[in-house]
Amino acid sequence: MEVKKLAIGSDHAGFDLKEKVIKHLKNKGIEVKDFGPFNDDRADYPDYAHPVAKAVTKNEVDLGILICGSGNGINMTANKHQEIRSALCWQVDIAEMARLHNNANIIALPARYISEEIAIECIDIFINTDFEGGRHKGRVAKISC
């Protein structure tokens, strides 16, 4: 899959990393739909996770990126959406396997526990890895209830 457009959202803890990720992606020629927040004032992660998840499920974007302090809350919120497979990633190989074996359509990053460099590497591998299919296709199909 060639990724041309991404959705991104965070909370206050993920704001600085979100801004750096947006700059990186735009430098690569990828269109980014930023759902906020637009400053580092206190912000509740569900307010940003839900719109990103909706944009992914409606195929308004190819994939999504979510960032909060631990990555857990924003990831849990996104996964409440039926067609979302959001993966919490803090290492490059986890991001790769999330796409390769799980067909994840959102990557969630823990801003307080990951360096900017590793976050960028995780995103790059996530958006450049295609779902392998095969034996994994049936497993992924069983995720949704």
List residues with catalytic annotation. Answer: 68, 101
How far, in Å, CA of 58 to CA of 55, rounded?
5
